[in-house]
Amino acid sequence: MSEVIAGVRIPDSALAREATELVRDAASPLLYDHSRRVFLFGALRGREQGIGHDAELLYVGALFHDLGLTEGHRRTDQRFEIDGADEARAFLHRHGITGERADRVWTAIALHTTPEVPLRMAPEIALVTRGVELDVLGIGYDAVTEEQRAAVTAAHPRPDFKRRILAAFTEGVQDRPETTFGTVKADVLSHFAPGFVRGDFVEVIRSSPWPE
């Protein structure tokens, strides 16, 4: 029987179970619990807004969205969001899910730190971002009930979450600081990575090879 948390049924297909096992093995308990909360809060926001969605695709998007922060699934030459997106699409392809459905999950993960844009896109893309925003930033906190929040955090606790998630973000991107240019992770490194120098868009324009 599939698990139900805060009235949300966790997908119980073979694909969903394998996704759960993969992420639980690869990620810290902090990131695993966070990713499950992202699914639950995303689904609850979808219900609150009357947005239908493919629960299985939303689940994979939520589970993989921070996989690019983990030791075995990250590169140093691209943004961590793309690492997770690439891993999710490859995982879906192995399960016979290709084309637009796989691309939808890729986009949900790749854009989950980009303000506003994903909220105008397909439901699964928007709801991964809604879940991330609620769990990390508190955006939409009152759009779910106190009882729903309590049920989600009872199943997937968040002890000292604010400090620990910032530490996880720092650890996951500090060896590729140039990939944070123009992203929220530049804010993280400016606080927690000694010697980090934020890229400057104006100076990039001024120092471009164009003579004008």
Tens digits of per-residue pLDDT, 150-170?
Answer: 999 999 999 999 999 999 999
For 31, 50, 131, 190, the CA distances from 136, given in Å and listed in that order, are 12, 23, 8, 18
CA–CA–CA angle 43, 5, 98 (5° rounding): 45
Within the chain, strands assigned E span 4-5, 8-9
Tokens of 87: 């891993």
pLDDT tier, 1 (very low <50, low <70, confident <90, very high otherwise)? low
Q: What is the pTM of this model?
A: 0.96
Q: How far apart are CA 36 and CA 174, in angstroms?
A: 25
How far is 196 from 194, CA to CA, in rounded Å?
Answer: 6
3-state secondary structure of 145: coil
Over residues 25-67, the pLDDT tens digits come to 999 999 999 999 999 999 999 999 999 999 999 999 999 999 9
**Which residue's entry shows tokens 């868009």?**
201
Residue pLDDT, tens place only, 179-197:
999 999 999 999 999 999 9
Confidence of residue 203 (pLDDT cuts 50, 70, 90): very high
Torsion angles phi and psi, residue 190, rounded to 5: -65, -25
